[in-house]
Amino acid sequence: MVILVATAATGLLLATNFSFVGLYEKLVAAIGDRFAFLGTVAARFRAWRQTRREEARLRKEKKLALQAAQEAAGNAFRASRDLSPADRVAEFMKQPNGSTVANSGAVIRGETEVAPQGSGASTSEPARAAAVGVGMPGATVVESRSGRRSIFPTGGRNAVADDESDLEEMVRGVSVVRTKAETPAAGKLPFDADRARRLSYTDYGLPPLEFLNEAPPPSEQADAELLSLATRLAEKCKEFNVTGQIKHICPGPVVTTYEFKPDPGVKYSRVVSLVDDLCLALKAESIRIDRMPGKPHVGIEVPNPRRETIYLREVIESRAFRESGSKLTIALGKTIDGLNYVADLAKMPHLLIAGTTGAGKSVGVNALIVSILYRARPDEVKFILIDPKRLELGLYEDIPHLATPIITDPKLAARSLKWAVSEMEKRYKDLAGWGVRNIDGYNTEIMRRNLVQEYDDKGEPWKPLPFIVIIIDELADLMMTSGREVEESITRLAQMARAVGIHLVLATQRPSVDVITGLIKANFPSRISFRVSSKVDSRTIIDTNGAEHLLGRGDMLFLPPGTSRLIRVHGAYIDEMEIGRIVSHIKFQGLPAYDETITQSEEEALGLENSDGEHDELFEEALRICVEMKRASTSVLQRRLRIGYGRAAAILDIMER
């Protein structure tokens, strides 16, 4: 039925000469201007269709012309293959726009080959005619030693010249800025003789600089080598359409910084995204790109082919280290510009260090300890060294600066941290009783009272409070064995211990979130990251990427207190022989005075108190709890007082007696 209706309708249309276009025109004429826009739409459609047809025709003509040019070039090659070299040179010299190719050998870039000068490069007349016929006037056919030819149109040569001029513009005016070497400060390290006499340390002598190895003379890169590398750097940037200018070249002991100023419209993120491509182009192990504070430039830090070693003696004998008034001054190393860099642990006030094996973490900890030993006497600074690995800190055994023997047992380490918390609370009470705000004010008041002979109740001079530096070489081991107790003690010390002169230095080679928890990291504003294995570890320690691109062997990113800008520092190196000479000098001048209460457990401390006939300090509180609850048990005292079983049982024994 449907077929019959369709056939009938088609026959009716054919018989009456019906046209849809005619119907449309009649409707437009009948309706008038009310629907005049329909005519405009139809006219635009016809114009668009005509344009498309014209573009298709032009594309077809270009394709045919290109095919004709390729065929003509092939015919020209076959026609000139039998010519002698002299005839080829003669043909080439007949060109009105001929030029000499001045390369010493054939250079292949992609599909382009340039023949060496005098190698018989020529352009035959058929080839030039074919080139002119396809719209390439003045084109040159250059033949390489292998006999292969390529057509170079004039426009192509101009394009290459334009690229070269742009490249020259990127490196135009670049200057090599070398940092002037610092002159070592003369004389010995500062020593307060008058204060030493009052504190009975007149015979103590700080270690001399001769115990440290002297640095060899530095080796500098030639300016021509630096400029050549800058040109390659600019060429690679332009290849990825990242345009700008290289303003300065700042060579350093380990890396060279190229100050790149991007053109307007070039985003900083586009420059940073070129890290891997620049490493490939410059054959570098790793490249770091970062903003330069105070300048509209981006610093591209490229490793030097010959890396220098930063010796600790260079930094310790620098003027910055000598003029620092703090006893906790640390000789970190040198910046990327070659300037000596020191920091003050008292201002940090705590330090978190992380880095993989071989990155220089242990050497950095040794440099920190030796820096303090070069400035402080045993009565001014006391160390609590915690070394669960039993390898790194054993060199400092039995020096008089130690408050306790080197701790290797994680349980003893947890006890020492608890002792530090109790010592912090005791010092706060002493400071409040004297009306001072920090340890410096307390020691100053002690000196004043001793000068005017205002002694203590026993008629003896007051003793100053020493700084206490707690160094944990591997935090991960402590967190696995006594994580909750260690984290609680570290958090309390990090929050409150600054004013009373107790400072923490935590080091770990596994900067994961289960080791460096959010609570610990929030209370350690100063951090050092050596090379880590991944971006995740870098963000864990310094809250940003970049540590995974470091070079290792002491290369670090330092986050100073009170800022979010990272400083790249090349750490100072010190070997075991140097440490041995320094430790021998210090041990020869005195023996350590250990405090046994630092590593004592609660039960041991309670036993000592009971032997003197004294009660536990929590006895009254425990008695009140037992009276309120009308029962006495060790479990109740453990829960309510948060103490161990031994101490709770001892308190119950006292109650029974």
Residue 300 has pLDDT above 90, yes or no: yes
Same domain, 375 and 425: yes
How much is the pLDDT for 159? 45
Residue 485 has pLDDT above 70, yes or no: yes
83 or 549, which is more confident? 549
CB contact at 8 A, 598 and 419: yes
How many C-alpha atoms does 464 have within 13 Å on its Cβ side?
A: 27
Indicate the residue among 558, 591, 624 that finishes a domain.
591
CA 587 – CA 399 distance, rounded (Å) = 5
Residue 28 has pLDDT above 80, yes or no: no
Evaluate the omega torsion of the peptide bond into residue 208 and state whether it is cis, within 30 degrees of 0: no
- Does this model's pTM top 0.85? no
Residue range(s) defining the domain that contains residue 57:
47-102+110-152
Q: For position 553, which CATH number holds? A: 3.40.50.300
Same domain, 478 and 570: yes
Report the domain count for the chain.
4
Q: What is the pLDDT of residues 413-440, one digit of tens each?
A: 999 999 999 999 999 999 998 899 999 9
How much is the pLDDT for 16? 63
Q: Is residue 291 part of a domain?
A: yes
How much is the pLDDT for 51? 87
- Highest-pLDDT range among 382-391, 591-600, 609-618, 634-643: 382-391
Residue 293 has pLDDT above 70, yes or no: yes
Total Cβ atoms within 10 A of residue 473 = 24
The region of weakest confidence among 107-111, 616-620, 651-655 is: 107-111
CA 116 – CA 147 distance, rounded (Å) = 12
Q: Is residue 6 part of a domain?
A: no
Q: What is the pLDDT of residues 186-220, one digit of tens each?
A: 555 554 444 444 344 567 889 999 999 999 988 88
Q: Model confidence at 615, in pLDDT bands (50, 70, 90)?
A: low
Same domain, 426 and 561: yes
How much is the pLDDT for 568? 94
Q: Is residue 491 part of a domain?
A: yes
Q: Is residue 313 part of a domain?
A: no
What's 603-618 look like in SS3? HHHHHHHHHCCCCCCC
Give the residue-averaged pLDDT of 303-314: 93
Same domain, 567 and 424: yes
How much is the pLDDT for 125? 42
- Highest-pLDDT range among 109-123, 525-539, 636-650: 525-539
Same domain, 223 and 345: no
How much is the pLDDT for 454? 82
Q: Model confidence at 126, in pLDDT bands (50, 70, 90)?
A: very low
Q: Is the dihedral of CA 308, 314, 316, 321 positive or negative?
A: negative
CA 312 – CA 576 distance, rounded (Å) = 13
What three-state secondary structure class fits 195?
Answer: helix
Same domain, 628 and 551: no
Q: For position 616, which CATH number holds? A: 1.10.10.10
Same domain, 341 and 468: yes
104 or 456, which is more confident? 456
Residue 246 has pLDDT above 70, yes or no: yes
559 or 49, which is more confident? 559
Q: For position 242, which CATH number holds? A: 3.30.980.40
CB contact at 8 A, 206 and 273: no
The region of weakest confidence among 9-13, 394-398, 432-436, 648-652 is: 9-13
Q: Is residue 242 part of a domain?
A: yes
Indicate the burial class of 168 (C-beta count within 10 angstroms; 0-12, 13-18, 19 or more): exposed
528 or 639, which is more confident? 528
Residue 17 has pLDDT above 50, yes or no: yes
Q: Is residue 526 part of a domain?
A: yes
Q: Is residue 209 part of a domain?
A: no
The region of weakest confidence among 46-50, 332-336, 463-467, 529-533 is: 46-50
How much is the pLDDT for 555? 94
CA 593 – CA 399 distance, rounded (Å) = 9
Q: Is residue 267 part of a domain?
A: yes
Residue 133 has pLDDT above 60, yes or no: no
Would residue 204 be called left, alpha or beta, if left means φ above 0 and alpha means ψ between -120 and 50 degrees? beta
